[in-house]
Structure 1
Amino acid sequence: MSSDLDKRVEEFFRTYQDRGMKKWAGFYLSDYTAKINKDKKRRNTVYIKKKTMDQKDIRAMLLKSFGEHRKVSVQLKNLSVNNDLQADIVGFVEGYQEDTTIISQNLVLIEDINHINLVE
């Protein structure tokens, strides 16, 4: 014995035509546009070269950061593929040896550091 609701449901599915990908196109377009805009913003960001510090000052700052467990911002000398400065590495000094340091899981050669400062 079928109820009126069952008949209406059967009728709906018998005549229903799925719009397929058309109903998702708006979502794809907005997600794609957001990704394009984010990538464009990242590419248009220009990092200014900070004053080059000598190795003695860099090592002193690393030691101070490590000893006091303070966050640092490190600008590297290395340029990106497009010959642009890279974004600063910001984080805590997790380890420190004579030639290398680990800052927020990034292994950094001390000779590659251009500038370092403590982050408040």
Structure 2
Amino acid sequence: MLSDDELNKFFANYNDRGMKKWQGFYLSDHTIKWAKQDKERNTIIEILPQQSEEEIGQILFNSFSSGLTVIVQENNLDLEGKIPCEIDGNVLGYNEESVMVNETKVKLDNIRNVRTVGDRSV
């Protein structure tokens, strides 16, 4: 057992490394998630031209009927005036107001641009 003097002497010279000592406890899942978030945050998405309702409808219908993957760009901009993300996946269904792209419901009047994967024309 240490005396009070020994404990006081130890803590007088003790240098706590703070959070550095916990660095080894980060799981690979955490670091992968952080790397993905950094990549998404630093990716600049080109704002594509506004397509007509007819053009958007035709591409979505063709994708739905043939099972092609689409990339949907919405009219949403972040505070910096950039497109925060694009939605990609298969068109699972649609109605007069919205379309389901994988698990995401997108309002048709909020779509800026839609293209099939591999299609470089805008």
Structures share fold, TM-score greater than 0.5: yes
Write out aligned runs for 1:1-120 (5 A). 25-28=22-25, 37-80=35-78, 82-120=80-118
Deviation at 1:25, TM superposition (A): 2.9
8 A Cα contact 1:74 1:89, kept in partner: yes
Q: Which runs of 4+ in 1 moved over 4 A?
A: 29-38
SS at match of 1:53: coil
Query: What is the aligned-residue RMSD (CA, Å)?
Result: 3.1
Q: Which runs of 5+ in 2 are unaligned?
A: 1-20
Deviation at 1:29, TM superposition (A): 6.2
8 A Cα contact 2:47 2:82, kept in partner: no
Deviation at 1:86, TM superposition (A): 2.1
Measure, in 1, the Cα distance between the counterparts of 2:59 and 2:81. Answer: 27
Q: Which moves more between the two structures, 47-56 or 31-40?
A: 31-40
User: What TM-score do you get using the length of structure 1 for normalisation?
Assistant: 0.67
- Other-structure match for 1:21: none
Deviation at 1:28, TM superposition (A): 3.3
Aligned in 2, Cα 1:40/1:91: closer, same or farther, shift over 3 Å? Answer: closer
Amino acid at match of 2:24: F
Amino acid at match of 1:78: N
Aligned residue pairs, count: 100
Q: Work out the percentage of aligned pairs sharing the same amino acid.
A: 26
Aligned in 2, Cα 1:26/1:84: closer, same or farther, shift over 3 Å? Answer: same
8 A Cα contact 1:99 1:111, kept in partner: yes
8 A Cα contact 1:75 1:86, kept in partner: no
Aligned in 2, Cα 1:59/1:43: closer, same or farther, shift over 3 Å? Answer: same
Measure, in 2, the Cα distance between the counterparts of 1:87 and 1:77. Answer: 10
Deviation at 1:34, TM superposition (A): 6.5
SS at match of 1:93: strand
8 A Cα contact 1:76 1:86, kept in partner: no
